[in-house]
Structure formats: C-alpha cells, structure tokens
C-alpha cells in the first residue's frame, strides 16, 4: 500500500514528463517575436487507431497489450499484432490503443488500484524507474537469462538506457529514438552553405541560421534559419555537450544551470537578438513547425528520428519544396556530441499471473526479433534495438537509399542516460519551464535556470 501511495503522489509530475515525450500541449505564449505553438520529441501527434479485434480462438492464452502511439505508427502496431497472432496458435494478443503515452500511464495507474492490469504496457522510458521503484513492474532478467533463444548481447546498449532500477532491467526496448538535426539542403545551398557539412557546433549552428534567415521564399515570405521550440529533451543534450551534468553523482542535487546557460542563451539570442529563429509553443507547435519546414520557410529544426516518416510525407504533400537531410545534435566548442534517448519500452506488470507473464514475454521477444525489429524500424523511423536488425537493413540497401535514417544509428555512440531518480519528472519540468521563460520572454538563461534549480531542489527535499 505504501508503494501504491508513493506512486500516486508522483502522478502529477510524471504526467508532465510523459506530455513532453508524447506531444501534450505546452504553455501558450505571453510575448515573443513570431511566437507560435511548441514541439515535443514525438513522431506524430496521436490520432485515433482502432484496437485490434479481441475475439480469441478458444484455447489460446490472451495477452492484453496497452499502447499509446496512433496515426501511421499505430497502424504498424496493429499490423504487427495481427502478424504475431497469425504466426502461432498458443497466444492471442489483444491490442488496446490508449490515445497517448499519457493515456497508457493513467489507465495503468487506475488498473493498479482495481487489480485488473494488462499483461503488457508500452511505457515511456522515463516512466520505467518511477513504476519500478513502486514495485509495479516485473524484473525481466529471469525471462531472458533462462531463454536460450534470446540473444541479449545482440541488443544495442543505447536502447536499454533508463530501463533499469537498482540494477535490474524492468522493460525491454520496442520503439527508441534520439533527437537529430533536420535541415533543408536546398536552403543551405541558396545561403552559400555547404549542404554536406551541417553545423557541428552551436557557434556554427548560429552562423548558419543567420545566413539562411537572409533568404525569402519564391512567394516573398521570410525564411527562418531555425524553427525553435523548448524541450527538456533537447536541453539534456545542450547540457551534456557543454561539459555539464543534470545532477551530481549521488543524485542528491541538481547541477544543470551553470553549464546549461550558455547554449540556452544562444537559442534565446537567436530568437530575440539575431531574429534568425522562429519560436513555437503550444499544442500545435509540431504541426506548424512541420508545415513551415516542408514548405521551405525554415532551414533547420530539431525533432525525434521517429518524426522522419511524418516529415517526409509533409514534404511530399507540399510539393517537395524542401530537400531533407539530418545530422547530429550540435555541441559546444571543446566538447563532443551527447544525446538523450526517448521512446518507449515493453513492461510486464508485477500483478500479472506467472503463466500470463510467460505468454507476454513470448510476444515481446517476437516483437524485437531481428527480422521483426528491422521491419518495425523501416516502417516507423525508430532506431533498431538489435545489431542484427541494423545489419539486415544495411544488407537490403535501406540506409544507402535513405541516409537520413542512418544518422541516429551513428549518433548512438554518444547516447546518454537521464538520471535514474524518482524525482526526474519534477526536475525535467523545471528545466522545461526555464527554457520557456528564457526563449519566450528573453529572460537571461542563467537567471531562469538558477530559479529552476531552486524549485527542483524543493522537490528533491
């Protein structure tokens, strides 16, 4: 009971983190140059996807899978569930769409009280330590360690980040991503920039944005060098790639202000001083950024690699006015690239009966088998979680034809793990708030971040 109460006490903060990774609305602007809605690190805004039919052939073990991705990605999930059900006659998976990552977490929250939990949940990665620390999830070591058909060493280490709690693995990666720089090669050429040499540092990034912002579209509309939005997901990279840490080594204090201020101030100055960046905030930010980029009104933006499918479709719908390429997240001078990972993993609730846990494991294992994981990555843009899946796609020539999909694979060597603390929702909320204050209202980054640190310390206490 104590663990359940702890879980509920943290729900409000947890919902904020899931919103940032799942496309929930952000605060509307009060003042800002060219202020429009805010983007979150998501593939596409969730849309209604019907659940997989729940009619099970008699004699099969029924496994309910709650997932939170809709749109085109949700359609692929439905397809995969149907494929698994047709591949064998012992287990039947019922897919239930819960509207968003938030929806999955909230429904699971309620199910923990009622006792009627699903057999598998698609859990946003930052939620795993929170639920695991409350005893709500099943450790997975007994499953993969005793399964001779499962090659754990084939898993890409970056896919396992933020899935452990106190040394035990509680969720298996299914859809994982990193943020990447999206840029329009055609605008680079027009601005006199080398389209094969995207900016590697924040200084280079700012200079490229200045040059692109001098352009206009054929219709005479202004072009933004940088389509900007606040996101603690991107801010993690900005801190780490400037030699900083979000928390101290024993996770008792926050430390993001000092090293995070310089890159955040650069973003703020690009918006308010250079006027080379257009700032977006609100629940329509992703859609508006996508439309601007696809129509050649923005040279660069940051998005999840899982957004690639949506970006490509938007460019095609706009008449191919943009020429897409992707690159690593920039870093500060004297430091190297460092990126967070995002997405979700498959977890088995602790309250599931043992025989159902075994059936749930079979579905998870099938989902991330080499062939199926390669297919999933090809159809969605999430990076493969197995080395063998990457090899399959390489041998098929997939990356040779679509090099923008390979950027995140190369960038995984620089992947970092967010602090494994139950207080992460509160900390990320304050980082996001500081970004909004600085970028929206031109508050000095160091002042906004120091105030955010004090609020985060109150939560830690």
pLDDT in tens, the chain (461 residues): 444 444 444 444 444 444 444 333 333 322 233 333 333 344 333 444 444 444 557 789 999 999 999 888 899 999 999 999 999 999 999 999 998 888 898 999 999 998 899 999 999 998 898 899 899 999 999 999 989 999 999 999 999 999 999 999 999 999 999 999 999 999 999 999 999 999 999 999 999 999 999 999 998 999 999 999 999 999 999 999 999 999 999 999 999 999 999 999 999 999 999 999 999 988 889 899 999 999 999 999 999 999 998 899 999 999 999 999 999 999 999 999 999 999 999 999 999 999 999 999 999 999 999 999 999 999 888 999 999 999 999 999 999 999 999 999 999 999 999 999 888 888 999 999 999 999 999 999 999 999 999 999 998 98
Contact 10, 425 (CB under 8 A): yes
Q: At 290, give phi and psi (nearest 5°).
A: -60, -45
**Per-residue pLDDT at 29:** 29
**Per-residue pLDDT at 53:** 44
Rounded to whole angstroms, the Cα distance separating 396 from 399 reads 8
Nearest of 8, 10, 18, 108 to residue 421 by alpha carbon: 10
User: Beta-carbon neighbour count of residue 445 at 10 Å?
Assistant: 24
Nearest of 280, 339, 277, 282 to residue 305 by alpha carbon: 339
Nearest of 70, 30, 43 to residue 286 by alpha carbon: 43
Give me the sign of the Cα torsion angle 108, 112, 115, 121. Answer: positive
Contact 173, 415 (CB under 8 A): no
Q: Which two tokens stand for residue 385?
A: 């979680």
Claim: this prediction has a pTM higher than 0.75: yes
Rounded to whole angstroms, the Cα distance separating 435 from 53 reads 43
Give domain 2-27+46-177+343-410's CATH architecture.
3-Layer(aba) Sandwich (3.40)
Contact 302, 182 (CB under 8 A): yes
Kindly list the domain boundaries of the chain, sorted by start residue: 2-27+46-177+343-410, 179-340+420-460
User: Beta-carbon neighbour count of residue 338 at 10 Å?
Assistant: 21
Strands (E), 75-217: 91-97, 120-124, 164-165, 168-169, 172-177, 179-184
Burial label, 216 (beta-carbon count in 10 A; 0-12, 13-18, 19+): exposed
Which residues 6+ apart lie within 8 Å of 312 measured at CB?
324
Nearest of 58, 59, 116, 62 to residue 84 by alpha carbon: 62
Contact 241, 262 (CB under 8 A): no
Which residues 6+ apart lie within 8 Å of 206 measured at CB?
266, 269, 270, 274, 276
Rounded to whole angstroms, the Cα distance separating 241 from 193 reads 24
| Terminal-to-terminal C-alpha distance of the chain | 22
Specify the CATH number for 179-340+420-460; select among 3.20.20.240, 3.40.190.10, 3.30.230.10, 3.10.20.740.
3.40.190.10
H-helix or E-strand spanning residue 344:
strand 342-347
Q: To the nearest 10°, the Cα dihedral for 251, 338, 274, 207?
A: 160
Q: Could you tell me if residue 66 is left (phi over 0), alpha (psi between -120 and 50 degrees) or otherwise beta?
A: beta
**Per-residue pLDDT at 56:** 57
Contact 182, 322 (CB under 8 A): no
User: Beta-carbon neighbour count of residue 95 at 10 Å?
Assistant: 25
H-helix or E-strand spanning residue 61:
strand 61-67
H-helix or E-strand spanning residue 309:
helix 308-317
306: DSSP letter:
G
Sheet holding 277-280, edge to edge: 277-280, 224-229, 298-304, 179-184, 324-327
Q: At 196, give phi and psi (nearest 5°).
A: -95, 0
Rounded to whole angstroms, the Cα distance separating 368 from 169 reads 16
Could you give the count of Cα atoms lying within 13 Å of 99 in the half-sphere of its Cβ? 8
Domains 2-27+46-177+343-410 and 179-340+420-460 share a fold: yes
Strands (E), 185-229: 224-229
> Looking up tokens 């579209």, which residue turns up?
217
Q: Which two tokens stand for residue 279?
A: 């700032």
> Looking up tokens 């909320």, which residue turns up?
429
């Amino acid at each position: 009971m104590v663990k359940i109460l702890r879980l509920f006490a943290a729900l409000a903060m947890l919902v904020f983190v899931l919103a940032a990774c799942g496309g929930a609305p952000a605060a509307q602007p009060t003042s800002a140059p060219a202020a429009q809605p805010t983007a979150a690190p998501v593939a596409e805004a969730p849309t209604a996807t019907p659940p997989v039919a729940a009619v099970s052939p008699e004699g099969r073990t029924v496994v309910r899978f709650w997932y939170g991705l809709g749109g085109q990605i949700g359609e692929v999930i439905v397809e995969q569930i149907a494929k698994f059900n047709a591949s064998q006659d012992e287990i039947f998976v019922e897919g239930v769409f819960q509207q968003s990552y938030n929806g999955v977490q909230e429904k699971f929250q309620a199910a923990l009280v009622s006792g009627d939990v699903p057999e598998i949940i698609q859990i946003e990665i930052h939620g795993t330590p929170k639920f695991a620390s409350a005893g709500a999830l099943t450790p997975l070591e007994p499953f993969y360690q005793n399964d001779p058909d499962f090659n754990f060493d084939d898993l890409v280490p970056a896919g396992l980040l933020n899935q452990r709690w106190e040394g035990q693995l509680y969720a298996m990666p299914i859809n994982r991503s990193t943020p990447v720089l999206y840029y329009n090669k055609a605008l680079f050429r027009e601005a006199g920039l080398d389209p094969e040499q995207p900016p590697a540092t924040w200084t280079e990034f700012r200079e490229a944005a200045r040059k692109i912002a001098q352009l206009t579209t054929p219709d005479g509309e202004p072009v933004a060098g940088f389509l900007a939005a606040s996101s603690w997901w991107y801010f993690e990279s900005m801190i780490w790639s400037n030699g900083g840490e979000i928390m101290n080594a024993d996770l008792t204090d926050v430390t993001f202000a000092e090293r995070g201020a310089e890159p955040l101030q650069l973003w703020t100055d690009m918006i308010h001083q250079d006027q080379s960046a257009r700032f977006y905030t609100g629940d329509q930010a992703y859609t508006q950024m996508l439309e601007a980029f696809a129509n050649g009104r923005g040279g660069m933006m940051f998005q999840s690699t899982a957004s690639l499918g949506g970006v490509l479709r938007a460019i095609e719908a706009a008449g191919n006015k943009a020429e897409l390429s992707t690159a690593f997240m920039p870093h500060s001078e004297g430091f190297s690239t460092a990126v967070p990972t995002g997405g979700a993993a498959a977890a088995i609730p602790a309250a599931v009966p043992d025989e159902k846990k075994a059936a749930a494991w079979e579905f998870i294992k099938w989902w991330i088998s080499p062939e199926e994981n390669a297919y999933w990555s090809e159809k969605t843009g999430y990076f493969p979680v197995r080395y063998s899946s990457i090899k399959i796609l390489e041998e098929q020539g997939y990356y040779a034809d679509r090099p923008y999909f390979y950027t995140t694979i190369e960038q995984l060597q620089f992947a970092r793990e967010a602090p494994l603390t139950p207080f992460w929702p509160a900390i990320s909320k304050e980082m996001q708030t500081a970004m909004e204050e600085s970028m929206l209202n031109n508050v000095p980054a160091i002042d906004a971040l120091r105030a955010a640190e004090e609020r985060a310390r109150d939560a830690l206490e």
